[in-house]
Amino acid sequence: MCQLEKRNVAILVISQVMFMVAAITVMTLSGVVGQQLSPDPGLATLPIAFMMLGTVISTLPASLFMKKVGRRRGFIVGAALGGAGGGVLSFAGVAIQSFAVFCLGSLLLGLYQGFAMYYRFAALDVASPSFRSRAISFVLAGGVAAAFLGPWNASAMGELVPAVPSGGPYLIIAVLALVAIALLSQLKVPYVGEPHEGESTRPMGTIARNPAFLVALAAGAIGYAIMILVMTATPLAMRANDFEMGQVAFIMQWHVLGMYAPSFFTGSLIARFGLGRILTAGCLILVGTAVTTLLGATLVHFWVALVLLGVGWNFLFIGGSTLLATLHTEAERGKVQGVNDLVIFAMVTVGSLMSGTLLHHLGWETMNLLMLAPIGVVALLILWMRLNRASLPVAQTRTS
């Protein structure tokens, strides 16, 4: 691995940490702040929904924008408008006690996420073929540091500005976004990773008919939606079982570690065993989550279930992202990656909105059992892909 590769991947890893601190801070704190500012307690989590909405509506435009101007400029725009702008606007909403302004700030933070989700694809652009799966794993591994820094920011920085209680963490988000901008300005994407004009492209429908594309899309979208749905329901389920908030925080922190800690070796596992086997393992691990919830509702059961949920998501998300990168040319990159992430975050938004309703009407155990159906869909698609190896691209190696 050359020096340029190391520097580029390091920039993306640190930028990922900056972004993940923002995302985890919002998931930890914005519901509480929303409850304080909203005219209706039922709207408390609306700021989080606005962040997800901002991600959904910006994901495809962000990809197409970067196809025109390049990764570096696109990432800087996302961090400036979404990260710095969203952090400052959220702080302003808390300062003037305006729920509408706070929600608008959350919407911009969703835009930050819409751009930052492409850090993993940028890692593929700046890495040599032999290093790509490990590069994307290292970038996602930035979530390990954020698992500690995000909750710390949400709690410890609450009184950073005494006159604006709970506003400080949003100022920190803005400052970290500025740090990310400074780093991203030094990102050097090789020419092969920049968009090429004038190349012929296949219709999206043609690409979508490839079994491998459907597997990549389903692994990312269904795996992410299941993870968000169960994760969002976990604090409610634990509180219903009389666990304290400190215990809830402990479980959620381990869940985030389960999501990102495997990233240190997921790429190596893909290189050794192949994408097909790692994707299948991700499905089986998510099945383990559902089975664990049937065995009991102690702290240990929640811990095992949520760690498995995080690891299963990691295998499916990294595996799906790596597979997707083999299915398009440089000229097709913008639309393919944009459609992929648009579908993912549309599914994530639906999952987060359904979580409370499913938990209320079905209960914790039944809700988790219901997740076996979409997991089965992903497993069947993987089997279909492996039975149709002739349709796989030459660039894809060791898929089974």
**How confident is the model over 220-238, as a mean pLDDT?**
85
Instruction: Determine the pLDDT at residue 110.
Output: 92
CA distance 265 to 225: 23
pLDDT at 132: 66
Checking phi first, is residue 164 left (phi over 0); if not, alpha (psi -120 to 50) or beta? beta
Tokens of 306: 């949520």
Q: What pLDDT score was predicted for residue 380? A: 93
| Residue 395: per-residue pLDDT | 41
CATH number at residue 281: 1.20.1250.20
Mean pLDDT of 183-189: 86
Percent with pLDDT over 90 in the chain:
32
Arithmetic mean of pLDDT, 204-208: 70
Last residue of a domain, one of 146, 164, 194: 194
Amino acid at 217: L
* pLDDT beyond 90 at 171: yes
When pLDDT is cut at 50, 70 and 90, the band that residue 191 belongs to is very low
Q: Give me the number of domains the chain comprises.
A: 2
Percent over 70 (pLDDT), the chain: 87
Verify that 235 and 176 share a domain, yes or no: no
Is the predicted pLDDT of residue 1 greater than 60, yes or no? no
> Does residue 70 belong to any structural domain of this protein?
yes
Which residue is listed with tokens 């090429």? 196
Boundaries of domain holding 252:
203-389
Among 36-45, 67-76, 186-195, 276-285, the least confident range: 186-195
Mean pLDDT over each residue of the chain, to the nearest integer: 83
Instruction: Please indicate, yes or no, if residue 278 is contained in any of the structural domains.
Output: yes
> Sign of dihedral through CA atoms 5, 266, 238, 45?
positive
Q: What angle do CA 240, 255, 60 make, to 5 degrees?
A: 105
Same domain, 77 and 162: yes
The arithmetic mean of pLDDT across residues 10-23, rounded, is 89
Residue 395 located in a structural domain: no
